[in-house]
């Protein structure tokens, strides 16, 4: 396997392979990235914070490396976080407890795996998806799951750690290809380093 | 790849507190779906698959504890406290009423305490296909790690959160759901917990099946509506058949997803037609339990294993007249028949589809 690229976004900025692409100044920092990337994708504006972050990260990644060279079943999406969709869950509860009626547009985002659906739609990826709830970022766990999917024929795994809760928002994505013989332990160390920086 | 076995853990639904009690009720074609007063946002009486013995507070946590007690009673403590046992949990919302506190925290605490687990708990939350993905992941662990046994728990409890949400989408049926039927009106939400145990060797004298393979696929089409062409389901089942080296003519029965909504059931009929499975007998068990989200895959697999054990195909409650453009073989009546190889499918929000194949052990 081979670590192809990584991307980290938060209100601090956009970091591709640990290098700052641009810093962010606006409060609506996700919209700021959207504008900077000059994307025209109306679905973006309906997304919740998790989907927006995963979308923007994947756009940045796709600008930097070719994410469509695999057959359309070949890309596996393995995403995880610690807080599920709890941020949107609370907004949705507010819609019926305070605002008067349950909001269907919020309700559909009260599942964390909606974000992998958004990525699949945008990039026409028909491959396998899985969303895990983990207590904290665990590089070894990702590599374990990646190994499962590579052994079943996947060409690449786009993995993500995307959290939105209690005002804290961040998204870390990395792309691992089946081709290549990089040492798994070194990839693990690299991922831990990339996430923590 | 080595042989993988699967057997019953436990099953708690409105129809019973054990796998046996559930199957006995199913043989009598009982349904756990009942009208519940004031369950809707505007005090509607929606038909729901509600477990009446659960307390109004702490439904989820009580259900999970009850499942742990059943597991220990049936299998003993050692199976779970063993270092070579892994637990995977499938749930969409877990303890949603814990908000603003972590909704998944109680799951880990209860499982660790009740089952004295030694390993990390793997939590899969991938909408309505979580259960099937969790079983597929369990098989991955047995194929590629040192674990000897993997316990897969699927669980979701009823909540205003979920009922109001499906109500807001106009997806609820105002009568017990009628999957695949011409007059189907939508979903009935339910609650349940189902547990299976996968292993490298048979773990007891109870009925076991072989897990042959599984997969998932995304529709890449819409986040809350199924593909019009059944693309993701079609791809997933094809992948699963390839992995299991099984062809469509070898499949005796399909445990379909069949939620009872117009779009979902129509999509499944198109996918099964495309797969050469139009004549294969199938049912949806949503008429027995309602749609139990993260538990659905598990309780439907367990029920289907019971059908394999007893060579009986249970009818699809609520189905009377073909209501999809492709005339798939939905069972109007239960019948005795040798059942060797079965396909389980699931589809859900986020465009997810998953499937797996099981075969009776020789």
Residues of B in contact with A102 (CB under 8 A): 41, 164-165, 167-168
From the list A111, A120, A145, the residue facing B218 with the nearest CB is: A120
Choosing among 3.40.1390.10, 3.40.47.10, 3.30.420.10, 1.10.1740.10, the CATH entry for A2-196 is 3.40.47.10
Nearest CA in chain B to A87: B100
- Residue-range domain boundaries for chain A: 2-196
User: For residue B307, what pLDDT band results from cuts at 50, 70 and 90?
Assistant: very high
B47 min Cα distance to partner chain A (Å): 19
- CB of A128 less than 8 A from some CB of B: yes
What is the pLDDT, as a whole number, of residue B215?
A: 98
Q: CA nearest A133: which of A164, A161, A168, A175? A: A161
Q: Which backbone phi and psi does A138 adopt, to 5 degrees? A: -130, 95
CA A148-A149-A153 angle, 5° bins: 120
Exposed/middle/buried for A165, CB within 10 Å: 0-12, 13-18, 19+? buried
- Residue B257 neighbours by CB under 8 Å, 6+ apart: B128, B264, B268, B284, B296, B345, B346, B347
pTM above 0.95, yes or no: yes
Q: What is the pLDDT of residues B280-293, one digit of tens each?
A: 999 999 999 999 99
Cβ atoms of A49 and A87 closer than 8 Å: yes
From the candidates B136, B150, B220, which should be mutated to test the interface with A, based on the most A CB atoms within 10 A? B220
What's chain B's average pLDDT?
A: 97
- Which pLDDT tens digit goes with each residue over A118-160? 999 999 999 999 999 999 999 999 999 999 999 999 999 999 9
Best probe of the B interface among A48, A152, A155, A160, by most B CBs < 10 A, is A152
C-beta atoms of B232 and A126 within 8 A: yes
**Tokens matching residue A192:** 């831990």
Residue pLDDT, tens place only, B8-53: 999 999 999 999 999 999 999 999 999 999 999 999 999 999 999 9
**Could you give all domains of chain B from N- to C-terminal order, each with its CATH number?**
5-199 (3.40.47.10), 208-360 (3.40.47.10)
* pLDDT per residue of chain A (197 residues) written in tens, 0 to 9: 999 999 999 999 999 999 999 999 999 999 999 999 999 999 999 999 999 999 999 999 999 999 999 999 999 999 999 999 999 999 999 999 999 999 999 999 999 999 999 999 999 999 999 999 999 999 999 999 999 999 999 999 999 999 999 889 999 999 999 998 889 999 999 999 999 98
Does residue B159 contact residue A102 with C-beta atoms inside 8 Å? no
Give tens-digit pLDDT for B113-151: 999 999 999 999 999 999 999 999 999 999 999 999 999
> If you search the block for the tokens 């999970």, which residue do you land on?
B64
Closest CA in chain B for residue A123: B220
Per-residue pLDDT, B2:
82
Query: Touching check for B124 and chain A: CB below 8 Å?
Result: yes
Nearest chain B CA: its distance from A136 CA (Å): 12
d(CA B251, CA B329): 13
Please, are residues B354 and B296 in contact by the beta-carbon 8 Å criterion?
Answer: no
**Any CB–CB contact under 8 A between A42 and chain B?**
no
């Amino acid at each position: 396997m081979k670590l192809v690229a990584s991307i980290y976004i938060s209100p601090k900025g956009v970091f591709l392979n640990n290098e700052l692409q641009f810093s962010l100044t606006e409060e609506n920092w996700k919209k700021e990235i959207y504008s900077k990337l000059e994307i025209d994708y109306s679905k973006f504006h309906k997304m919740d914070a998790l989907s927006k972050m995963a979308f923007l990260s994947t756009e940045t990644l796709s600008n930097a490396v070719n994410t469509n060279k695999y057959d359309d079943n070949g890309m596996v999406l393995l995403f995880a976080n610690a807080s599920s969709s709890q941020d949107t869950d609370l907004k949705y509860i507010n819609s019926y407890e305070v605002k008067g009626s349950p909001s269907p547009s919020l309700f559909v985002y009260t599942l964390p795996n909606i974000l992998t659906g958004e990525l699949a739609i945008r990039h026409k990826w028909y491959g396998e998806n899985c969303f895990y709830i983990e207590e904290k970022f665990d590089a070894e766990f990702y590599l374990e799951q990646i190994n499962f999917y590579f052994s079943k024929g996947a060409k690449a795994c786009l993995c993500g750690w995307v959290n939105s809760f209690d005002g804290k928002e961040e998204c870390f994505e990395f792309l691992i290809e089946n081709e290549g013989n990089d040492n798994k332990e070194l990839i693990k160390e690299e991922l831990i380093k990339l996430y923590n920086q | 790849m080595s042989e993988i076995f699967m057997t019953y853990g436990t099953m708690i639904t409105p129809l019973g507190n054990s796998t046996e009690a559930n199957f006995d009720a199913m043989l009598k074609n009982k349904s756990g779906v009942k009208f519940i007063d004031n369950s809707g946002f505007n005090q509607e009486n929606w038909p729901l698959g509600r477990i009446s013995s659960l307390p109004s507070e702490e439904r989820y946590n009580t259900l999970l504890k009850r499942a742990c007690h059943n597991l220990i009673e049936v299998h003993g403590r050692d199976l779970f406290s063993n270092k070579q046992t892994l637990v995977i949990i499938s749930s969409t919302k877990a303890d949603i009423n814990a908000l603003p506190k972590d909704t998944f925290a109680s799951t880990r605490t209860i499982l660790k305490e009740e089952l004295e687990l030694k390993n990390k708990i793997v939590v899969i939350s991938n909408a309505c296909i979580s259960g099937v993905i969790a079983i597929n992941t369990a098989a991955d662990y047995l194929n590629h790690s040192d674990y000897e046994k993997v316990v897969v728990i699927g669980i979701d409890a009823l909540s205003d959160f979920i009922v109001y949400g499906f109500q807001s989408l106009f997806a609820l049926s105002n009568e017990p759901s009628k999957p695949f039927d011409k007059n189907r009106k939508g979903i009935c939400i339910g609650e349940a917990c189902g547990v299976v145990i996968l292993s490298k060797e048979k773990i007891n004298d109870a009925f076991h099946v072989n897990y042959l393979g599984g997969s998932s696929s995304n529709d890449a089409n819409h986040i809350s509506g199924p593909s019009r062409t059944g693309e993701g389901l079609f791809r997933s089942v094809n992948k699963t058949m390839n992995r299991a080296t099984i062809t469509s003519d070898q499949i005796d029965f399909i445990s379909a997803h069949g939620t009872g909504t117009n779009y979902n059931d129509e999509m499944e009929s198109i996918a099964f037609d495309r797969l050469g499975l139009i004549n294969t007998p199938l049912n949806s068990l949503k008429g027995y339990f309602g749609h139990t989200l993260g538990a659905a895959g598990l309780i439907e697999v367990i029920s289907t294993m019971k059908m394999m054990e007893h060579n009986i195909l249970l009818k699809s409650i609520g189905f009377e007249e073909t209501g999809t453009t492709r005339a798939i073989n939905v069972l109007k009546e239960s019948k005795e028949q040798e059942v060797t190889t079965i396909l389980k499918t699931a589809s859900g929000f986020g465009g997810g589809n998953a499937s797996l194949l099981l075969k009776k052990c020789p």
